[in-house]
Amino acid sequence: MNSLDIAISSLTSVPVLAFALGILASRIKADIGVSKSAVEIISFVLLLAIGLKGGFALQKTGLSGSGLPIATTLLLGCLIPLIAFAILKLVPRLSLIDRGSIAAHYGSTSLVTFTAALVFLDSAKIEYEGVVTTLLVVMEVPGLLIGILLAMGGFSALKNRELLKEVLLGKTVLLLLGGVIMGYIAGPKGYESVKTLFVDAQAGLLTLFLLTLGIQAGKNFKHFKELGPTLVGFAIVMPLIGGSLGALAGSAIGLSPGGATALAVLCASASYIAAPAAVSIALPTANHSVPITASLGITFPFNLAIGLPTYFWLSQTFTAIL
């Protein structure tokens, strides 16, 4: 399957089309929304499913060789919010606090984008290393903390126990890391016992979640005037920068093209679930609608439609060169 076929497959996949349907439904005010409790259950299952799948894969391949990818991901997790913060200086009338808030969102990761990337790789029969799920957990924390520290101009945020609890012990980290550990311990027999819900149904659950996100993105259109053209440009350029860095780094440390693609997606994605909770605690005076609109309304659909095949192409190219 060449890059064009992969791009077409990504654009015409059911989850991506569900996101587009959600936007359309929101704009014509059709009542097809999923209840908040149902969305929470779906997100819960997706988090645990990603963790379990990664744990099963790690148990199969072993932990040897995971140190370098984890160290590289930590470095990227620190670097990306610094790059975002520097670029955001070009956005007119953006305060220091808002720059840090946006940098935290773009330094953090998007579970849904990552899940879409794994579904994309699985559907294209592209193999990837089991450690990539662990990398999702690894990148979640430094991006959030560094963005918040930049906004506050120092290390005072580290004294905020409520913030640290949200970042280090929040639902995202606990379920992902817990799933990895459970999957690793349970092994193949455990995999088979939960495969129907947590693996086979993953694409269907993702479709429902993307339908809901499409509805939310459509409702956020009213906030687009707050962004301005420069910030809209940032929401497109920043994932390309992060994705390129991730693809290059992944290829350089010996990950397969699929594994490098997964790392690129982590670097390119922007959080609109975990980050808002942490940022609202640390930076209550920030304009919270701006980073959510940028990440969910622009970066997320960009990554779904254009980013995924682009990052795979970059990973293939860098792997061939290096």
Question: For residues 269 and 298, is the Cβ–Cβ distance under 8 A?
Answer: no
Residue 301: inside a domain = yes
Task: Give the pLDDT of residue 10.
Answer: 67
Confidence of residue 308 (pLDDT cuts 50, 70, 90): very high
Helix (H, G, I), strand (E, B) or coil at 194: helix
Task: Give the pLDDT of residue 155.
Answer: 66
Residue 7: inside a domain = no
Confidence of residue 193 (pLDDT cuts 50, 70, 90): confident
Residue 4: inside a domain = no
Residue 203: inside a domain = yes
Q: How many domains does the chain have?
A: 1
Question: For residues 179 and 50, is the Cβ–Cβ distance under 8 A?
Answer: yes
CA distances from 103 to 136, 149, 163, 254, 298 (A): 17, 10, 16, 28, 15
Whether pLDDT at 2 is above 60: no
CATH number at residue 214: 1.20.1530.20
Helix H segments across the chain?
3-11, 14-27, 36-61, 67-87, 96-107, 111-123, 132-152, 161-169, 171-195, 202-219, 224-252, 257-268, 274-282, 289-294, 300-302, 308-321
Residue 5: inside a domain = no
User: Rounded to an integer, what distance in angstroms lies between the CA atom of residue 138 and that of residue 72?
Assistant: 10
Residue 6: inside a domain = no
| Average pLDDT score over the chain | 85
Q: In terms of residue numbers, what domain contains 259?
A: 14-321
Enter the tokens of residue 127: 């193999």
35-68 residues labelled b (16+ CB within 10 A) or e (exposed): eeeebeebbebbbbbbbbbbbbbbbeeeeeebee
User: Rounded to an integer, what distance in angstroms lies between the CA atom of residue 79 and that of residue 211?
Assistant: 32
Residue 135: inside a domain = yes
Q: Is 305 exposed, middle or buried (0-12, 13-18, 19+ CB in 10 A)?
A: middle
Span 125-148, pLDDT tens digits: 889 988 888 888 888 888 888 888
**Side chain identity at residue 147, one-letter code:** G
Task: Give the pLDDT of residue 318.
Answer: 96
- Name the phi and psi angles at 254, rounded to 5: 95, 10
Span 56-89, pLDDT tens digits: 877 776 767 788 999 999 999 999 999 999 999 9
User: Rounded to an integer, what distance in angstroms lies between the CA atom of residue 214 and that of residue 209?
Assistant: 9
Question: For residues 159 and 30, is the Cβ–Cβ distance under 8 A?
Answer: no
Q: What proportion of the chain, given as a percentage, has pLDDT over 70? A: 92
